[in-house]
């Protein structure tokens, strides 16, 4: 480092106010910076707009105001939860059940994956705000309690998506409040929402980390074979579809009200291929790693609950209860071949459910061991199958709540 810089030396090296550097230079600098920013953001948006990262939850939320307005005379049912609801409840079949009994019911699948209660509560708060503003109520709302989404492990895992989920799910007013309290964080969230298409850098960069989602380990040969067969069955099913469409897309569509696959529109051949595809999931070589992943990421067998997530779930119950004529918390069916609780874990879960009822006044319905749902009806250790599982469980739900909806 030079020991000092003299004024004359400095004047030689730099233009000063006296030499009055041209206005053009300053304009060029400012515009150059802004142009580069626009170019970078533009290319990023172009790429990211093809990644439907938050598409389902955003469309779910967007549709809330019209959900009531479009169906003023019909009884409205909302089943809210995680990907287990997304995979396990079919609104078309549910509504058809009641139609056959002469009842006009419209139901919605508000299940979405990768959100623990900390983030789900932003969605239920939004639903509550919108419905309260319209002065309307849901006739029945069922809120899934997903035990392994409420654990300490899940809370740790959620940290990586915290900024992203808050940026996308919070209202603009809430974001503005955060910005006033903590400008740095607020602008970060606004940046994710408006410039990054709702995808945080944390999520993108996590693919490079040593313990991140990318696994370079060579897969077990049995696993590889089972996976190959599953992919083969998937291709075979998709090939039977006339328009080459993908009915498994994660987008929440208004037409299907959150449902995934309308089986009544499938040909015999497609249905057969679909059942073969569903069957190809049920293989120990696929199930075991799936269970281990959920043990690691969600503590699915130990259920060490995280208080802040429990509290968030209680907030959700209160939100939906405030805008529902009838509401229940539901524990969805469990794949009892793989997810086996010890008596201590079951006790912990029971105690928590009692607490939810005590603090909210909302009943809990435990369908984890429902006799009509068998382990063959799952595609992995937690999700109901898009073949038998979803049909059976939708019917079970319809039968269970038929009395409530007849009132």
Partner 1 sequence: MLFNTPLFFLFFSCFFFLYSFVFLKRYPRLLLILVGSLIFYAGWNFRFIPLLVFSGIVDYFVANGIQNESDNKRRKLYLAISIATNLGILAIFKYTDFAMQSVVDLMGLFGYEASWTMLNFVLPVGISFYTFQSMSYTIDVYRRDMQARKGLLTFISALAFFPQLVAGPILRARYILPQLELMPSPTWSGAKHGALLFTVGLFKKTVADLLAANVDYAFDGAGVSMIEAWTGVLAFAAQIYGDFSGYTDMAIGTGMILGFKIPLNFRLPYFASSPADFWRRWHISLSSWLRDYLYISLGGNRNHRYRNIMITMLLGGLWHGAAWTFVVWGFFHGLIIIATHFLGSIKSLQWIGESQAIFIRFFKWAVTFYLVLIGWVFFRAQEFSDATNVLLSMHGMADVEAVATALLTFWLTVAALAVMHLIDWVVIRFSKGIENRIWLFWPLIFVFQFICFMFGVPSNAFIYFQF
Binding site for partner 1 (CB under 8 A): 1-7, 10-11, 13-17, 19-21, 23, 25-26, 28-30, 32-34, 36-37, 39-41, 43-44, 163, 183-185, 187-188, 190-191, 195, 200-202, 204-205, 208-212, 216-218
Tokens of 339: 């997810």
Nearest distance in Å: CB 4, partner 1: 4
CB nearer to partner 1: pick between 28 and 101 = 28
- Strand (E) or helix (H) holding 329: strand 324-331
Alpha-carbon separation of residue 295 from 84, 298, 304 (angstroms): 17, 5, 11
CB nearer to partner 1: pick between 2 and 371 = 2
Nearest distance in Å: CB 393, partner 1: 39
CB nearer to partner 1: pick between 15 and 267 = 15
259-296 residues labelled b (16+ CB within 10 A) or e (exposed): bbbebeebeeebeebbbbbbbbbbbebbbebbbeebbe
The Cα–Cα gap between 184 and 357 comes to 39
Nearest distance in Å: CB 199, partner 1: 9
Torsion of Cα atoms, 252 then 275 then 376 then 87, to 10°: 0
Q: In what order do the strands lie in the sheet with 75-81?
A: 105-111, 75-81, 138-144, 324-331, 363-366
Nearest distance in Å: CB 41, partner 1: 7
Query: Alpha-carbon Rg of the chain, whole angstroms?
Result: 26
Q: Which residue has the tokens 């607020």?
A: 186
CB nearer to partner 1: pick between 197 and 328 = 197
Nearest distance in Å: CB 157, partner 1: 14
CB nearer to partner 1: pick between 14 and 100 = 14
CB nearer to partner 1: pick between 15 and 342 = 15
Pair 373, 336: CB distance under 8 Å: no
Nearest distance in Å: CB 82, partner 1: 26
Q: Which residue has the tokens 């239920």?
A: 124
């Amino acid at each position: 480092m030079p020991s000092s810089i003299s004024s004359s030396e400095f004047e030689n090296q730099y233009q000063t106010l006296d030499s009055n550097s041209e206005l053009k230079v300053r304009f060029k600098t400012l515009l150059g910076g802004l142009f580069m920013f626009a170019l970078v953001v533009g290319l990023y948006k172009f790429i990211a707009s093809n990644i439907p990262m938050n598409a389902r939850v955003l469309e779910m939320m967007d549709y809330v105001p019209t959900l009531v307005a479009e169906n003023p005379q019909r009884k409205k049912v909302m089943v809210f939860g995680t990907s287990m609801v997304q995979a396990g409840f079919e609104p078309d079949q549910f509504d058809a059940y009641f139609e056959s009994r002469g009842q006009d019911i419209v139901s919605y699948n508000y299940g979405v994956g990768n959100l623990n209660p900390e983030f789900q509560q932003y969605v239920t708060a939004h639903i509550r705000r919108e419905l309260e503003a319209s002065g309307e109520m849901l006739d029945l709302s069922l809120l899934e309690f997903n035990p392994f989404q409420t654990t300490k492990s899940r809370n740790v895992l959620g940290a990586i998506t915290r900024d992203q989920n808050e940026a996308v799910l919070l209202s603009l007013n809430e974001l503005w409040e955060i910005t006033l309290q903590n400008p740095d964080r607020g602008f970060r969230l606004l940046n994710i929402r408006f410039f990054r298409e709702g995808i945080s850098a944390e999520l993108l960069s996590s693919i490079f980390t040593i313990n991140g989602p990318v696994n370079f380990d060579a897969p077990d040969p049995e696993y590889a074979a089972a996976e190959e067969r599953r992919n083969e069955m998937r291709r075979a099913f998709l090939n039977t579809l006339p328009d080459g469409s993908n009915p498994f897309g994660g987008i929440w569509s208004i037409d299907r009200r959150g449902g995934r696959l309308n089986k009544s529109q499938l040909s015999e051949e497609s249905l057969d291929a679909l059942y073969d595809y569903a069957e190809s999931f049920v293989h120990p070589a696929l199930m075991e790693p799936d269970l281990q992943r959920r043990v690691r990421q969600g503590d699915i067998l130990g259920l060490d609950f995280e208080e802040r997530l429990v509290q968030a779930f209680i907030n959700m119950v209160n939100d939906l209860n405030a805008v529902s004529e009838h509401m229940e918390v539901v524990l969805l069916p469990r794949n009892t071949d793989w997810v086996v609780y010890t008596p201590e874990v079951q006790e912990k879960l029971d105690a928590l459910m009692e607490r939810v009822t005590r603090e909210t006044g909302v009943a809990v319905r435990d369908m984890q061991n429902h006799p009509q749902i068998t382990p063959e009806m799952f595609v992995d250790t937690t999700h109901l199958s898009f073949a038998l599982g979803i049909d059976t469980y939708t019917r079970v739900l319809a039968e269970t709540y038929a009395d409530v909806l007849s009132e």
